[in-house]
């Protein structure tokens, strides 16, 4: 059994207490401090990218920084991931990534060379250029942050806040990969793939948006698969019941992984989606064609709670009216 001797209560606690989840708690307070209204902004905080009016299309604008621990462990992989996570943000919105800029603070020439090599290789593999940015030389630390611009048809954007009661919850992951040798909580399914393979996986999200097959979506980021689903449900003002045994996963024993490790891991290519039940077969078929495993793991409900179930035992992970991941909402459900 994939959860072995762990109870659902233990798994729920692992997710809640994971640093990748707890680091998101400060987002709500920051939003309250800086948010202003602007008529050309269709959506912003809580989404993987801001959605900006641009005629019949929209511009998608996002930024991501790399955890300092990854910079210390493997500068090349940190540089690669700085590109990868930004491309994922645009893909999750059903958009086409266009170009990136970076802000690089550097204290060590060796780290600089390795980070730049990783950024270059990912940029080349995915076909998204880095076109500018800013350099802070000779800082006492090394940090890389990247911003990205994308584009999508206005009626084809995949939002995070639009999950609907009764929707199926789908997790789609490329299981053909490895635990990254420099980071036990990174699943690398991309560096060994061809440019054609990874670009097809990114394009698929654009196709799902254009064909209207999904109601909401988010790329699986450092909170892990359950934490990321929590973020989607939180901004949607919804809840869900999910079955642990249905989560797609590689062979844990072969990869020397525990289930607790897998649910916290950042996958090289992975998305959480919601969709009408009647669309799930087509969605699974399309992911399969690009080498990804898509599985229905539960359904969206109106409880504003995320609960996990295994073998008849259920445990709550998040109550979004009290302690959401990003803490964007007040007790009455209104956005702060």
**Do 82 and 150 belong to one domain?**
yes
Contact predicate 88/172, CB 8 Å: no
Q: According to the model, what pLDDT value does residue 332 have?
A: 47
- Identify whether residues 272 and 125 lie together within a single domain: no
Domain count, the chain: 2
pLDDT of residue 83 exceeding 90, the answer is yes
Tell me, yes or no, whether 204 and 78 share the same domain.
no
Same structural domain, 111 and 206:
no
- 113 and 175 belong to one structural domain: no
Same domain, 314 and 185: yes
On whether residue 253 sits in a domain, the answer given is yes
**pLDDT tens digit sequence for 154-191:** 999 999 999 999 999 999 999 999 999 999 999 999 99
23 or 269: which leads in pLDDT? 269
Q: Is residue 92 part of a domain?
A: yes
Q: Are residues 166 and 267 in the same domain?
A: yes
Query: What is the reported pLDDT for 322?
Result: 83
**Interval 201-214 mean pLDDT:** 98
- 224: CATH: 3.90.650.10
Is the domain of 250 the same as that of 293? yes
Same-domain status, 107 and 235: no
Q: Which of 80, 94, 112 is nearest to 188 (CA)?
A: 80
Residue 264 has pLDDT above 70, yes or no: yes
Express each pLDDT in 210-227 by its tens digit: 999 999 999 999 899 999
Q: Could you tell me if 144 and 206 lie in one domain? A: no
Q: Average the pLDDT over 75-103 and give the result.
A: 97
Mean pLDDT across the chain: 91
- 331: pLDDT confidence band, cut at 50, 70 and 90? very low
Kindly report whether the global pTM for this prediction surpasses the value 0.95.
no
Distance CA 189, CA 196 (A): 14
Q: What's the CATH code of the domain at 98?
A: 3.30.1330.10
Q: What is the mean pLDDT of residues 220-239?
A: 95
- Is 226 inside any structural domain? yes
Residue 39, domain member (yes or no): no
Q: Of the candidates 247, 251, 276, which has an alpha carbon nearest to the alpha carbon of residue 263?
A: 247
Cβ-proximal residues to 70 (8 Å cutoff; 6+ apart), any chain:
77, 78, 81, 182, 183, 186
Give yes or no: residues 207 and 127 share one domain: no
189/248 same-domain check? yes
**65, 145 contact by CB (below 8 A):** yes
pLDDT at 213: 98
Q: What is the per-residue DSSP string for 216-262?
A: EEEE--TTHHHHHHHHHHHHHT-EEEEEGGGS----TTTTT--HHHH
Domain end point (choices 154, 176, 195): 154
Q: Which residues contact 153 (CB under 8 A, 6 or more apart)?
A: 56, 57, 58, 209, 210
- Determine the pLDDT at residue 329: 62
Q: Which domain range does residue 247 map to?
A: 8-26+159-319
On whether residue 174 sits in a domain, the answer given is yes
Please report whether residue 291 resides in a domain: yes
- Is residue 215, in this structure, part of any structural domain at all? yes
Whole-angstrom Cα distance, residue 20 to residue 25?
10
């Amino acid at each position: 059994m994939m959860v072995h001797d762990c109870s659902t209560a233990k798994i729920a606690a692992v997710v809640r207490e994971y640093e990748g989840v707890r680091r998101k708690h400060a987002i709500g307070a920051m939003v309250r401090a800086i948010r202003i209204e602007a008529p050309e902004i269709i959506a912003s905080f809580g989404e993987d990218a801001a959605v900006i009016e641009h005629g019949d299309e929209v511009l998608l604008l996002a930024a991501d920084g790399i955890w300092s621990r990854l910079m210390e462990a493997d500068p090349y992989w940190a540089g690669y991931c700085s590109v990868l996570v930004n491309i994922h943000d645009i893909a999750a919105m059903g958009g086409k990534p266009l170009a990136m800029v970076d802000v690089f603070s550097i204290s060590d020439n060796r780290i600089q060379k390795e980070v730049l090599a990783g950024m270059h290789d990912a940029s080349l593999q995915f076909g998204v250029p880095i076109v500018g940015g800013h350099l802070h030389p000779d800082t006492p630390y090394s940090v890389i942050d990247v911003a990205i611009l994308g584009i999508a048809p206005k009626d084809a954007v995949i939002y995070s806040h639009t999950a609907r009661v009764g929707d199926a919850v789908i997790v789609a992951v490329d299981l053909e990969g490895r635990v990254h040798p420099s980071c036990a909580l990174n699943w690398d399914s991309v560096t060994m793939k061809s440019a054609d393979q990874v670009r097809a996986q990114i394009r698929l999200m654009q196709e799902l948006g254009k064909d209207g097959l999904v109601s909401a979506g988010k790329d699986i980021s450092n909170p892990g698969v359950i934490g990321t689903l929590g973020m989607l449900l939180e901004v949607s003002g919804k809840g869900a019941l999910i079955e642990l045994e249905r989560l797609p996963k590689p062979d844990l024993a072969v990869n020397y992984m525990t289930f607790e490790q897998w649910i916290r891991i950042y996958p090289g290519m992975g998305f959480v989606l919601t969709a009408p039940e009647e669309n799930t077969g087509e969605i699974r078929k399309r992911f399969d064609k690009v080498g990804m495993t898509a599985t229905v793991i539960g359904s969206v409900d109106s409880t504003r709670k995320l609960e996990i179930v295994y073998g008849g035992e259920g445990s709550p992970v998040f109550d979004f009216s009290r302690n959401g991941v990003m803490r964007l909402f007040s007790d009455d459900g209104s956005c702060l």
